Structure 1
């Protein structure tokens, strides 16, 4: 369901915080605590519960603060549906996002509100983030590429995944968010980057080069399956961008990124023993991908050979 400007309600707090959740009560408790610990207190918190179990629902019913609203939603398993439901209820000038297993630094809202008010030409903002393991221990980032703060018109940087943006770090003017239509509920993976592209095409962004959000890394459960679904999402996303982006350069970037995502998806299928899906992915993507860049063909051939060798080893 799309969002429209008619859904806007004025006269509320400065910031509406949107927190979708489905169970994980221990993490949820920490996330909500990080909201109450904010040095900036002109906010409302809208928790969109996606049909959680009674343990989580009982904990949510126990929150006694007039700034907190809980939306009791039927389970969908689609965060975009929960986030859009919360957006429709939001009254703040700015919207901030927090996932139920992540955290904020105490100065997060204050710093971003100040930055956006001081930069009237920017309709949204994001920050650097810290990473923690599921148990709360910091992630060793010594082997990671350095984080780069891209500001201004970052559409191309987002398409190339050069701008690394966590949804927990984003704050956006509510009117801008409504103009771009909120989250695409049909985009099940990569829906956050889809939103960033649409925001970037409408407004420059302000970046704060300081980790004001804390993102909990995946626990590794169903890692391969999750990566397959994620790359299915990237292929879907870039196929749409290749048709709809406003300039030839941006559409060319989208075509190349789609082709690269198809190769990764085929490799993931092959490693998972889904050889037919690997070949089907490459066959489906060949015509457009070869046009996107000539080297795609021989790279696809290597994937096919690798998939065949894996199948032979399994038979032996």
Structure 2
């Protein structure tokens, strides 16, 4: 299949035992007009050796002298890219062979008001390769209100953006506490329509012994970062929450939990009352008790 150049961006650090699987899955794509940009955040293991051992002129390997923040690292990869379409792959995951082909076919068929497409992904335990769950959201069209309440269409490797849309968004943000594909997609959905390939085209692996960005332990001062993140969401999508106040409950919930854990009692009580004013439920009423069981 011929068509527009697709840039695939992977950022990595100390993944010598995992990254070859990701690279092989890219090189096995049925859609061949790709460039594969791998940005290494100053690995101290043999990640560089693994990448250099794979001869394919579609691979562009960028070795940073220091380990920069994730958003900055991804955006470095984007600046080095040339593709009309932009997509991503985490270095511990893999594409199925038709991932790029099917997303390109869909995105090409859509009018310009569609900013990106996504697909489904399947989680596996990397130790025994057992199935864990399928992430199969089904939102399509113009969905600015549906995406701010919870990370329905999150999943970095599932996205394929038109280049100008990703550029217009400014990529990932690194000043919102927690790097979030959810936040990126939510911003895009405020202006553009979306569609999806109704098929799992990505295998996501957990329990592989290396730290994942989605792990709670990845972040130092996690609860402080949670406060920054949820406050950002409430401000960034204020117009949506003013129209649909109940969609803000998960963000006030996150703020309440974080403030409880940090012993900011007045703030926690404020957010707790805010939640109850928006909706009474057993889950909401029992927030103080639930805090006790959070690690």
Interval of TM-score (by shorter of Structure 1 and Structure 2):
0.7 to 0.9
User: Which residue does 1:313 correspond to in 2?
Assistant: none
**Counterpart secondary structure, 1:76:** coil
Q: Does 1:159 align with 2:142?
A: no
Which of 85, 107, 110 is the matching residue for 1:119? 110
Offset, 1:263: 4.1
Name 1:28's counterpart in structure 2.
19
Partner SS state of residue 109, structure 1: helix
- TM (norm. structure 2) is 0.83
1:262 to partner: Cα distance: 2.9
Query: What is the rounded CA distance, in whole Å, between the counterparts of 1:228 and 1:283 in structure 2?
Result: 24
Verify: 1:183 aligned to 2:183, yes or no: no
How many residues align structurally? 283
Q: Which residue does 1:283 correspond to in 2? A: 266
Separation in 2, partners of 1:229, 1:168: 26
The alignment status of 1:131 with 2:123, answered yes or no, reads: yes
Does residue 1:101 correspond to 2:98, yes or no? no
2:31 is matched with 40
Whole-Å Cα distance in 1 between the matches of residues 191 and 75 of structure 2? 19
| Residue segments in structure 1 that go unaligned for 5+ positions in a row | 1-11, 270-276, 311-316
Residue 199 of structure 1 aligns with which residue? 188
TM-score (norm 1): 0.78
For residue 87 of structure 1, report the CA deviation from its aligned partner.
Answer: 0.7
Q: How far off its partner does 1:157 sit?
A: 2.7
Corresponding residue for 1:252?
245
Deviation of residue 184 (structure 1)?
0.4
- CA drift of 1:187 comes to 3.2
Give RMSD over aligned pairs: 3.0
* Between 293-302 and 34-43, the greater mean CA deviation after superposition: 293-302
Structure 1 residues 123-180: Cα deviation after superposition (integer angstroms, max 9, x where no partner): 1011011111123603243xx8x73311112333322226242111110011000111
Structure number, greater radius of gyration:
1
Of stretches 292-301 and 83-92 in structure 1, the one that deviates more from structure 2 is 292-301
In the alignment, the residues of structure 2 paired with residue 35 and residue 70 of structure 1 have an alpha-carbon distance, to the nearest angstrom, of 14
What is the CA–CA distance in structure 1 between the aligned matches of 2:117 and 2:22, rounded to whole Å?
Answer: 20
- Greater share of helix residues, 1 or 2? 1
Matches within 5 A, 1:217-256: 217-219=206-208, 225-226=217-218, 232-245=224-237, 246-249=239-242, 252-253=245-246, 255-256=248-249
Q: How far is the alpha carbon of 1:95 from its aligned partner?
A: 0.3
